Amino acid sequence: MGAINEFAAVMENEFRIISREPGGLALLVILPYFVAGGTAVIASFLASVNRYRFAEQFIGFEVVMLSIIMMQTGARFLREERNGGRLEYLLASPTNMFIVLFGTSLVMASSIVAAFTVSLMPIAYGVYGVQGMMRALASIVLLMIGLMPLYGLGLALSGLVLRFRDSDSLMGLITSAASLLSGATYPMQALPRWLGFLVKVLPMHVLDDALYYELIGYLNAAHVVYLALASAAYLSLGAYLYGRLQRSLLRKGIV
C-alpha cells in the first residue's frame, strides 16, 4: 500500500506541476494536433505520398518522437530537480527513486500516448476506414508496452544525468543517435548489415513495425513477444545501470 500511495502522490504531483506551467495545460490539449500536423507535413516531404505510404511514415515519425520523449523524460526530470535543489530531498526520502522516476515518466507517457492516438485516429479513418480507426485505438496497449524498453534506456540515461553534472551534451548525443537508429523513417534495406543488426536490437524499429501492422490488421504475435521481451531486458538493464550510477553518486556526492 505504501508504494502505491507514493506512486499516486508522484503522479498527482506531476500532473499538478504540468497544469501550473505557463501554457502547460493548453499545450497538453493542443499537443495531439500539433504532433499530428507537424509529422504529417514532415512525412509528406520525405515520402512519395500515397495515403498508405503516408500513414506508414506518419507512424514512423511518431515513434521517433515518442522514443526521444520517453528516453529523455526521466533525465530531464532529474536535471530539473537538481537545479531546483529538490534532488537531495527526494533522495533523502524513504520513497524509492524508481517509483519517483516511473511515476513522473508515466505521466509523460500517458500524455504522449494520448496525443499519438488522437492524432493517428483521423489518419487511420481516412486511410483504412472505421476498422482502421478502431485498430488505431487498440494500438494504445501496444504502444504502452513498446514504450517500456525506451523507458529502460531512459533509466540508464537518467543515471548518467544523476552521476555526471555536465551530461546535457551526452544526453543530446544519445537521443540523436537513438532516433537516427530508429529504423522507423527509412527503408532498412538501405543500411549496411551490421548497422541493420544494431537497429533491430533497439526497440524502435519493432515498435514502428508492430504499430503499422496493427493499423493494417496484420499484427504478428512475434512483434508482441519481441516487445515484451525487449521490455523485460531493457528495463532490467536500465534499472541495473541506474542503480549502479546512483550508488556511485552516493559515493561521490551531489555537486
Best CA proximity match to 14, nearest among 82, 89, 73: 73
Q: Which C-beta is closer to other proteins: that of 29 or that of 254?
A: 254
* Cβ at position 75, least distance to other proteins in Å: 19
* Cβ at position 174, least distance to other proteins in Å: 24
- Interaction between residue 244 and other proteins (CB under 8 A): no
- Interaction between residue 23 and other proteins (CB under 8 A): no
- Interaction between residue 92 and other proteins (CB under 8 A): yes
H-type alpha helices, 164-220: 168-180, 193-201, 203-216
Q: Which C-beta is closer to other proteins: that of 5 or that of 220?
A: 5
Q: Pick one of 38, 50, 52, 88: the residue that binds other proteins (CB under 8 A).
A: 88
CB 144 within 8 A of CB 75: no
Q: Which C-beta is closer to other proteins: that of 91 or that of 118?
A: 91
Kindly list the distances between the CA atom of residue 159 and the CA atoms of 3, 36, 194, 240, in Å, as whole numbers in the listed order.
Answer: 21, 32, 28, 10
* Cβ at position 30, least distance to other proteins in Å: 20
Q: Which C-beta is closer to other proteins: that of 5 or that of 131?
A: 5
H-type alpha helices, the chain: 2-20, 24-46, 51-83, 87-91, 97-163, 168-180, 193-201, 203-216, 221-252
CB 210 within 8 A of CB 156: no
Distance separating alpha carbons of residues 69 and 72, to the nearest angstrom? 5
Query: Residues 96 to 115: which contact other proteins by CB under 8 A?
Result: 100
- Interaction between residue 193 and other proteins (CB under 8 A): no
Residues that bind other proteins (CB under 8 A): 2, 5-6, 8-10, 12-13, 16-17, 20-21, 84-86, 88-95, 100, 247, 250-254
